Amino acid sequence: MSANNLYNDQGGAEPAVEAGQETTPTSSSAGVGSGLFSSDFKKNDDLKEMLESNKESLKLEAMKRIVGLMSRGRNASDLFPAVVKNVANKNIELKKLVYVYLVRYAEEQQDLALLSISTFQRGLKDPNQLIRASALRVLSSIRVPIIVPIMMLAIKEAAADLSPYVRKTAAHAIQKLYSLDPEQKDHLIEVIEKLLKDKSTLVAGSVVMAFEEVCPDRIDLIHKNYRKLCHLLVDVEEWGQVVIINMLTRYARTQFLSPWREFDENSEKTFYDSDEEKEQADSRPYVMDPDHRLLLRNTKPLLQSRNTAVVMAVSQLYWHLAPKHEVNVVTKSLVRLLRSHREVQYIVLQNIATMSIQRKGMFEPFLKSFFVRSTDATHIKTLKLEILTNLANEANISTILREFQTYVKSQDKAFAAATIQAIGRCATNIDEVTDTCLNGLVLLLSNRNETVVAESVVVIKKLLQTQPSQHSDIIKHMAKLLDSITVPMARASILWLIGEYCERVPKIAPDVLRKTAKTFTAEEDIVKLQILNLAAKLYLTNSKQTKLLTQYILNLGKYDQNYDIRDRTRFVRQLIVPNEKSGALSKYAKRILLASKPAPVLESTFKDRDRFQLGTLSHTLNTKASGYLELSDWPKVAPDQSVRNVEVFEPVKEWAPSVGKAKPAKSDKFYSDSEEEEEEEEASGSSSSAEDSSSSEGRYQSTFSHRLSLPVSSVYVLSMCYMHRMCNVQAFALCLLRPNAPPQKKNLEILFAQPVSSPVFVPHMSHELLHRMSGKGLAACYHFPRQPCIYDPRMVSVQLTFTNCGEQPVQDLRVGEASPPALSLHRFAAVERLEPDSSITVSMGIDFNDSTQAASFQLCTKEDQFSVSVQPAVGELFMPVTMTEQDFHKEQGKLTGMNESSTTVTVASESTSAQIITRKVVCVANMGVVPSSQTNVHRFAAKTASSEALVLATVELKEASAARLLVNTEETVIGSMLLRDLKTALSQG
């Protein structure tokens, strides 16, 4: 426990410590303060007297001053004997400060620390759990090998302590003891095995950390605790979650088959196996282990964690363990982390860069999230540039190149250079834009920024190697720029290009050699080497014009100060100028110097980083760090699943409202993740479940479903019809026989987990559907009755009122084609005849798919067709939900971060009463009112009709007619629209 935590445990401790550090409360301490850094410091005699005093206030003041001295780097070890005497003091705050002191000086004052061992051992028996934990922490901090047996005994006793806090401290002490004496490994493993069975969430993270430090290869210790750790994971503290997820990632790679292969390949065929048997074996599909699915399912909710390390840990787990089609669930969470600090952005972007190489489709929808901002640091800009380059394809390359054009103009020279390299990579990866990129880079050669010009030359050189015959004009243009370019790398690249393709520019190459010969002595070494290469190549291809120039350059290089230049000169002279001493190598000079070179491959720097586990230090540094544990390859044969079979650990559910008595789960199906098996099992409605149910309603529904062979969802429709007294045979037939019926729920508990209530308020507001002039005498309007749709729970109920304003009857009034064709709607029964000056009201259901986009369809009569559309307000897409205040807080806690929208609104002074606020909210949205224990806080709950996503709204009244409006929902678009509508309604008088 750190000193800061110790001070914060008591109300006035922190100010007192600061006073002890910075001020001089007594005359005696004034001398100490003035002589703190002087040579005549008198060994803190006044502090010793205060520690030996009978007044606890003086002792406490002395300890605060001592800790203050420690925090400023002063040596207070001479006070060790006086401090140790106060270990047995009954004042908890004083004890904590004493323990802080002892942890700091126990290793330096080993002899005196050994004298206090008995005191610490007595502290291990203290009735206060904080004292027991502090005593163990101090004891394990004494780095004295002689007390290892005592520490071992203390750890074993603490591991069996009734307090989970003490057991957590024991897990921390295991790592300290192991670093002090690795020979105790076997005994420590026994303690770890015992603590791994602990069911406390406080202990889980610490013991797994001890496991990773002491015996990470003992996978057998995890078998029996695997499922328990998966279930506890959500409730463990955040840093414990990170450790457990990383450990379970390594465990899963050794115990489960790879989900990345389509068929099972774990059987070896013998010589005598028939082809038919082989085909049958090869056709067996891959079936994921239930425990593998359990891990993926229980870690998925942690993607909503506020801790970026937890989100990153879950993301790497899905990347290394999940089937390829399920990895996309981590994309939104990773993109959300880009709003964090630049340190977090750096790590997240590095991992996204590695992912985007193999899975471009994951991040393509979020392309704009990686656009560079002016406030980004250079290393952040470079990583975003890397990701944009990885995501480039034929569809989005135009957008990316337009973005790159802006980046090239940046004042950050390093970033501009990196952008040019990215353009070069895009040009090599996408053939359709190669010429466009090349022309753009040529235009950059006239840029005033030397860095941009130099980098453009280097990239153009690499691009021209792919198609040199088609770009001789560019080579000529670059040769002309040689006089103005001063960057050595750029000049060297131009000279290399001219020398490599000197036969395509026969008139320009000798002139370039002539100019560079004049400036040879003033050039950089890298440029001199390319001048020598150019001279040698021209000597072999155009010796008549360049023979004398070549000899002149070779003579200059012979006496150059750099030994590399001198060596290259001697080599070139012997290679191209035959004489008596030159050997057979000169015969092959042309084949050596003018050989065709392969075009360079522009690859991402993150291409090979996938060999390291994502999120690790090794991945960040791109080199294996100390302590890195590699992920093993997937096993070819599935290990035995029975090693994990233990008694099932079921956490207590805090909120699980249900209808009737829930059917008990079978032990062998508890971890099964096959949705089809669960649906088939519950759709069949066995008679045993009906007999076990103690609720008459549950018994009736299960029996009814069994007799009619209907799914539970159909029983739900029947019960809804009964509740709303709209039971007719035609509606039943439509509901039961529709091919796109609502998906079956697993059981009635889940179906009624958030019971739908009747609407609080139904506004009588009609909207025009068809004007009588446009409808040739037929007028139509619609409104939303805010009742559950009897045809499909996912649909929104809409009532249409038709009026015949003409003189002739309207015949065969019906709904025609819908737009778009995929729009799901339930048409009303055709109206055979509507007499003049008469009206009729019909109902229909529309699945808006949780969107305010208008539903368009054809309204047909016997003679005409009219295009009409129903435009829903966002509040009409909801169904009210009944919920307690406690359940509201719990669900709201799950919908934070990106799922939360808030704003401040000024409420009219006459509209601050609870009745008026409730009326305004329920008028805007079809939401249920949640009881509130606070008079200034009003809560409302609903769920969307289509996806059943929970929507929570809170109106908190502040001072001066101000109010805070908060909306929580997974549907962020709906949340923002609802927030806007509610703000408008509440701000009106």
Structural domain includes residue 847: yes
Token pair of 923, please? 């008028």
Provide the token pair at 36.
């703190």
Regarding whether 882 and 856 lie in a shared domain, the answer is: no
Cβ count near 216 (within 10 Å):
12
* CA–CA separation, 39 and 49 (whole Å): 21
Q: What is the pLDDT of residue 275?
A: 54
CA nearest 689: which of 679, 698, 697? 698
Within a domain: residue 261? no
Do residues 917 and 978 both lie within one domain? Answer: yes
**Cβ–Cβ < 8 Å for 512, 533:** no
Look up the pTM and report it.
Answer: 0.57
One domain, residues 778 and 912: no
Residue 73 CB partners (closer than 8 Å, separation 6+): none
Question: Residue 288 has what pLDDT?
Answer: 86
> Where is the domain boundary, 872, 898, 922?
872
pLDDT given at position 276: 53
- Claim to verify: residue 932 and residue 799 sit in the same structural domain: no
Whether residue 495 contacts residue 516, with contact meaning beta carbons closer than 8 Å, is answered with yes
Strands (DSSP E) found in 467-582: none
Range of the domain at 94: 45-253
Q: What is the pLDDT of residue 603?
A: 77
Name the token pair of 287. 């079936």
What gap in Å lies between CA 589 and CA 597, rounded to an integer?
Answer: 15
Beta bridge partners of 796: 788, 846
- On whether both 218 and 69 belong to a single domain, the answer is yes
In a domain, 362, yes or no: no
Residues 945 and 982 in one domain: yes
What CATH code is carried by the domain that includes residue 852? 2.60.40.1150
Q: State how far the Cα of 836 lies from the Cα of 594, in Å rounded to an integer.
A: 95
Rg (CA), the chain: 39
Q: Are residues 224 and 248 in the same domain?
A: yes
Are 81 and 193 within one domain? yes
Tell me the CATH number at 80.
1.25.10.10
The verdict on 196 and 121 lying in the same domain is yes
* Residue-level pLDDT at 469: 61
Confidence at residue 156, expressed as pLDDT on a 0 to 100 scale: 93
pLDDT score at 468:
63
Residue 878 bridge partners (DSSP) = 944
Q: Write the burial class of residue 221 (CB in 10 Å: 0-12 exposed, 13-18 middle, 19+ buried).
A: middle
Buried b (16+ CB within 10 A) or exposed e, 324-337: eeebebbbebbbbb
Nearest to 370 by CA among 348, 394, 388, 352: 388
Could you tell me if 312 and 613 are in contact, meaning their C-beta atoms sit under 8 angstroms apart?
no
Q: Is position 153 within any domain?
A: yes
CB 688 within 8 A of CB 703: no
Does residue 539 belong to any structural domain of this protein?
A: no
Stated as kind and residue range, the H or E segment containing 782 is strand 778-783
Residues 969, 981: Cα–Cα separation, whole Å: 15
The C-alpha atoms of residue 29 and residue 45 are separated, in whole angstroms, by 10
- CATH number, position 925: 3.30.310.10
60 and 192, same structural domain?
yes
In-domain check, residue 748:
no
Q: How many domains does the structure of the chain reveal?
A: 3
Co-location of 865 and 890 in the same domain? no
Q: Tokens at residue 56, please? A: 């606890």
Mean pLDDT, the chain cut into blocks of 10 residues (989 residues total) = 40 37 38 40 71 86 89 84 80 84 77 75 84 86 84 93 93 93 92 92 94 92 92 92 94 90 44 50 69 93 93 94 91 92 93 90 90 91 92 89 89 89 88 83 78 83 72 78 82 86 82 89 90 89 84 89 90 80 71 76 79 89 87 87 69 38 41 41 39 38 38 39 39 39 39 57 84 89 88 88 90 86 84 90 89 88 90 91 90 84 84 86 91 89 90 88 89 87 85
Q: Is residue 946 part of a domain?
A: yes
Decide if 824 is inside a domain: yes
Query: Pick from 850, 872, 894: which residue ends a domain?
Result: 872
Place of tokens 């179906």: 751
Out of 196, 227, 253, a domain closes at 253
Query: Are 88 and 229 within one domain?
Result: yes
Please classify residue 73 by burial: count the beta carbons closer than 10 Å to its beta carbon, then call 0-12 exposed, 13-18 middle and 19+ buried.
exposed
